[in-house]
Chains A and B, each alone.
Chain A
Amino acid sequence: MANKVRARLWGFVITCCACTASQAGVLPEDRADVLYFRYDGGEVTINGPSMLVRKSIGEHVSVAANYYIDMVSSASIDVQTSASPYDDERTQSSLAVDFLHGKSTYSIGYVNSDESDYKAKTMFAAVSHDMFGDLTTVSFSFKNGKNDVFQNIKIDGIKQNDPNFNDGLGQAEMESKGYSVSVSQIITKNLVLAGQFEVITDEGFLRSPYRSVRFFIGTDAQGQQSEEYPNTRSSNAASIRAKYFLPWRAALDGMYRFYTDTWGIVGHTGELGYVHPLDRKFIGGDWIFEGRVRYYRQTAADFYADIFPRADFSNFMARDKELATYNAITAGVGATYEFKLERFPWLSKGQINLRYDHMMVNYDDFRDATFSIGKFGVAPENPLAPGTEPLYELRANIFQFYISAFF
């Protein structure tokens, strides 16, 4: 939960900053979007709506507001081996304002996220500037998040925060800061490049209150204990992306990102995308099709192990599969139907969008411990020896349906 909330907040901040970075001397266009999404994979289902409205006020100010709901139903592999299935809901609201001054855009924003066991408040600020005849856009951004972490327990069947969590404090704190610089550069009349470097630092309670590590007891038995994480984490990420306009009015884009952090994770991300608009109307409107493939690979954190040699093996111990060694391929397709309505002259265009992505994750050192521990406290009929279970694989389907209106 904690990681997922943090990722969500950073994602929104990144998107907001990216809006300004793309065209520092131009305000983003007015639009409204309503999205319904569904993620289904690894016995976890997440669905909900998201609404985003962006509106200009005069010629120099643009305001964006977002409201988002995550409805989670989880019986993930972590939950199966150490807890009970759960349902939860998270709401997030945010507000961002862009100020245009000459060839510069100044942005500020605030994001609030509320979940039963995680509350997060994030502010961000960014400045972008067009230069060299508007061929180059340079952007700087800063974000700061303050988060309160709780642990849910059930007392008399009612879910509530554990007052004894974190040595009786009932809550823990985590603060995160991010600094980013990016450059967007027009290379030719058909090619644009963009590079970004971002540093993020976390301090405070960084682990999940719920997850456990497992360890050997002798050679063929195992036990579990709580994870122990460092209290700090600093990461560096550098990316470069390119987009090229093809002669038959289509666009090809590519991205590579290199990542490293103080926990020992090294990650490589590559992505290829193709956007193809139809050159004729169909069912009264224009159509845009998109295909995308994303490859990701990372090494494990220094203190990660699928199973440790013994209890209290080291100061820091983790068994979060997101800290394991693995690779992932995600392939997706999307279609956009674009239309205009004569009766609504104030609507410059509308879009109906469908998108489907399939994610395949193969872990190198994270095993499916349900073959030895069982599920939800029920042992398997023929348990395997610890450390001999098959490697875990995650397959997920991601659906998005959204309607966009441009004014």
Chain B
Amino acid sequence: MSIRGLFVITALACAASGCSSIEPWVKPYDRENLADPIMVFTRAPISQDFLDHVFESREGSRGATGGGGGGCGCN
């Protein structure tokens, strides 16, 4: 088994076990820039929703435009 394969299996096993020991490498107090409103992927949902409609109704492709947002989880 290659080193890369071992790494992937280790990472998956770690994720499956809950990985409670992983320390966040970007601390909450280092997330000021990520929390800036300009860093949100979708700044105006009502506008993005309309534009997605325009593109999807004129293209054969569809889906995977939500991307998972952004933001920093700075709760």
Chain A residues packing against B (C-beta within 8 Å) = 3-4, 7-8, 10-12, 14-26, 33, 35, 37, 39, 50, 52, 66, 130-135, 137, 139, 178, 180, 182-184, 186, 188-190, 192, 194-200, 235-239, 241, 243, 245, 249-251, 253, 255, 257, 259, 261, 263, 265, 267, 269, 275, 277, 288, 290, 294, 296, 298, 301, 322-323, 328, 330, 353, 355, 357, 359, 361, 394, 398, 400, 402, 404
Contact = CB atoms under 8 A, between A and B. Distances in A.
Given A7-B56, A50-B50, A189 B69 contact: no
A25 B71 CA distance: 11
B54 A23 contact: no
Contact of B66 (A50, A180, A250, A275): A180
B5 interface: no
Interface string B9-46: 00000000001001111101011111010111111111
Given A25-B75, A26-B73, A251-B38, A133 B22 contact: yes
Contacts of B30: 189
Contact of A22 (B23, B40, B49): B40
A235 B63 contact: yes
Nearest to A181: B68
Contact of A275 (B38, B60, B61, B69): B38
25 contacts: A7-B55, A11-B52, A11-B53, A11-B65, A14-B52, A15-B45, A50-B46, A50-B49, A133-B22, A134-B28, A134-B74, A135-B26, A137-B68, A137-B73, A186-B72, A186-B73, A199-B63, A241-B41, A245-B34, A249-B38, A251-B38, A322-B58, A328-B58, A355-B47, A361-B58
Contacts of B74: 26, 134
Nearest to A321: B58
B38 A288 contact: yes
SS class of chain B's interface: helix, strand, loop or mixed? loop
Contacts of A250: 38
Nearest to B33: A245
Contacts of B54: 39, 359, 398
A156 B56 CA distance: 35
Contacts of A23: 69, 71-73, 75
Given A137-B69, A322-B58, A402 B47 contact: yes
Contacts of B60: 259, 261, 263, 265, 267, 298, 301, 322-323
A14 B33 contact: no
Contacts of B41: 18, 22, 194, 241, 243, 253
Contact-residue size bin, chain B (C-beta under 8 Å from the other chain): 35 or more
Contacts of A17: 66
Given A4-B57, A189-B26, A10 B63 contact: yes
A178 B56 CA distance: 15
Interface of B: 19, 22-26, 28, 30-34, 36, 38-75
Contacts of B66: 14-15, 17-18, 21, 180, 182, 196
A3 B57 contact: yes
A196 B68 contact: yes
B75 to A, nearest CB: 5
Contact of B67 (A25, A241, A394): A241
A15 B63 contact: no
B65 A194 contact: no
Given A11-B56, A35-B50, A180-B66, A189 B61 contact: no
Contacts of A194: 41, 67-70
Nearest to B32: A189
A7 B75 contact: no
A243 B39 contact: yes
B67 A10 contact: no
A7 B73 contact: no
B73 A130 contact: yes
Given A12-B49, A132-B19, A133-B23, A353 B44 contact: yes
A255 to B, nearest CB: 7
B62 A235 contact: yes
B22 A132 contact: yes
